[in-house]
Amino acid sequence: MGMGLNSVKAFFANLALDVPILETEANTATVALAAAAHGVEPGRIAKTLAFQLADGRQVLLVARGDARIDNSKFKTALGKGKMLATDVVAEITGHPVGGVCPFGLAHPLPIYLDVSLKAYGEVLPAAGSVNSAVRISVDLLAQVTQGLWVDVCQAASPNPVAPLAQRAAAIEAALQDHGLPASAGIAQGVHNAEAVWLPERGAQVVAKAWTDAAYRARLLANGKAAVAELGIELPAHHRHLVVLENTASLHNVICCTLCSCTAYTVIGLPPDWYKDLAYRARIVRESRTVLREMGLDLPSDMELRVWDTTADTRYMVLPHRPAHTQEWSPAELARIVTKDAMIGVARL
């Protein structure tokens, strides 16, 4: 049976290969998280997908992290197929979802390698856990997995997206060319992002709600008005701020399935993983699994509610106060409140 990270280490040890296995404190369960943690572009993260084919076989496909399946190519190369459910993937590979890789498998499986990987000399597949990766050359990956090369992903864009700084500069130049000076607005935006729109603001709201029952009632009734009492303003288009109270038996988590909306003036700008398509799509379909991958394993009898942000309605989670903090001051309480807890992917 596979044992996640340990089975991957044993796999390479049995082959007498000194392949670097990178373990991090950060969660690397998605391509975006892994790329950020390892300081590489998303394409260099080699993702492993599991499929059930029409002929009954269960197979693994390894592709570059930013590649998308081309259904027509897939059907031509492998026949019809569908992605396996997460519990089945964990069972057949021995690895948790978010750490699935083609090494140290619980059961032998056919492995296919998409040609998109050949764009890189070296890639980083997961290593059997949600905070590890293997740094390996593409040639060695093909050798140790005995993988068969296939072409089942969409072709890379002939016009790759320019770096963020270059795109921002182009927008600023276009505005200035039309008589709309943007420099002052950009400077103000940078200042707000770095010094004003911080999670510490939301932490102060939470601490006051924990220590002032009347304020807590006002916060739950009208979040926008209640945070204004502390000098926190929301943009005009944020018409409503709904505060979701966690309890010992209820847990709330927020998302934005369309983009990356948050009550950013209260809880801070959204983390990269919050904007990632994998989180946005999966948190509403596989809520408990996604939270578990991110380190929050909720009891099976705890009610879980997922809230999808809209253009005019923003949410923040009021975390459940830890029992051992009853004698703490508001300042002490504020220091333990995190952005993750106000989004709902952590409990305090």
Do 129 and 202 have their domain in common? Answer: no
Q: Is residue 168 part of a domain?
A: no
Do 204 and 105 have their domain in common? Answer: no
pTM higher than the cut 0.75: no
62-112 confidence digits (pLDDT tens) = 999 989 899 999 999 999 999 898 889 999 999 998 899 999 999 999 999
Residue 197: its pLDDT value, please? 92
Contact 275, 259 (CB under 8 A): yes
Q: Is residue 242 part of a domain?
A: yes
Residue with tokens 């408990």: 288
User: Is 101 assigned a catalytic role?
Assistant: no
> Per the residue annotation, which of 116, 259, 300, 329 is the catalytic one?
259
> Per the residue annotation, which of 101, 153, 255, 256 is the catalytic one?
256
Contact 305, 250 (CB under 8 A): yes
Average pLDDT for 126-149: 95
Residue 187: its pLDDT value, please? 82
| Alpha-carbon distance values, 125 to 61, 71, 97, 111, 276 (Å) | 12, 23, 13, 14, 18
Q: Is residue 128 part of a domain?
A: yes
> Per the residue annotation, which of 153, 255, 261, 287 is the catalytic one?
261
Q: Is residue 171 part of a domain?
A: no
- Range from 41-50, 145-154, 162-171, 327-336 carrying the lowest mean pLDDT: 162-171
Among 102, 117, 107, CA closest to 149:
117
Question: Higher-confidence residue: 291 or 158?
Answer: 291
Do 143 and 203 have their domain in common? Answer: no
- Range from 153-162, 169-178, 269-278, 330-339 carrying the lowest mean pLDDT: 153-162
Q: Is residue 159 part of a domain?
A: no
Residue 86: its pLDDT value, please? 84
Q: What is the CATH number of the domain that holds 15?
A: 3.90.960.10
Residue 1: its pLDDT value, please? 36
Residue 185: its pLDDT value, please? 79
Question: Percentage of residues in the chain with pLDDT exceeding 70?
Answer: 97
Question: Percentage of residues in the chain with pLDDT exceeding 90?
Answer: 72
Question: Higher-confidence residue: 157 or 252?
Answer: 252
Residue 159: its pLDDT value, please? 61
User: Is 261 assigned a catalytic role?
Assistant: yes
Distance between the two ends of the chain, CA-based, in angstroms? 34
Domain of residue 243, residue span: 195-343
DSSP one-letter string for 110-147: -EEEEGGGGG-SEEEEB-SSTTEEE-EEHHHHHHHHTP
237-287 confidence digits (pLDDT tens) = 999 999 999 999 999 999 999 988 999 999 999 998 899 888 898 999 999
Q: Is residue 165 part of a domain?
A: no
- Residues 151, 77: Cα–Cα separation, whole Å: 7
Among 22, 21, 23, 45, CA closest to 33:
45
Q: Is residue 338 part of a domain?
A: yes
9-58 confidence digits (pLDDT tens) = 999 999 999 899 999 988 898 898 898 889 888 999 999 999 999 999 99
Average pLDDT for 212-234: 97
Kindly tell me if the per-residue pLDDT of 289 is higher than 80: yes
Domain count, the chain: 2
Burial class (CB in 10 A: 0-12, 13-18, 19+), 47: buried
Q: Is residue 187 part of a domain?
A: no
Kindly tell me if the per-residue pLDDT of 160 is higher than 90: no
> Per the residue annotation, which of 72, 260, 287, 329 is the catalytic one?
260
Domain stops at, among 114, 134, 150:
150
Do 146 and 201 have their domain in common? Answer: no
Question: Higher-confidence residue: 160 or 167?
Answer: 167
Average pLDDT for 138-143: 96
Residue 166: its pLDDT value, please? 81
Domain stops at, among 90, 125, 150:
150
Do 130 and 259 have their domain in common? Answer: no
User: Is 249 assigned a catalytic role?
Assistant: no
User: Is 260 assigned a catalytic role?
Assistant: yes
Do 105 and 215 have their domain in common? Answer: no
Do 104 and 199 have their domain in common? Answer: no
- Range from 124-138, 164-178, 275-289 carrying the lowest mean pLDDT: 164-178
Average pLDDT for 294-323: 95
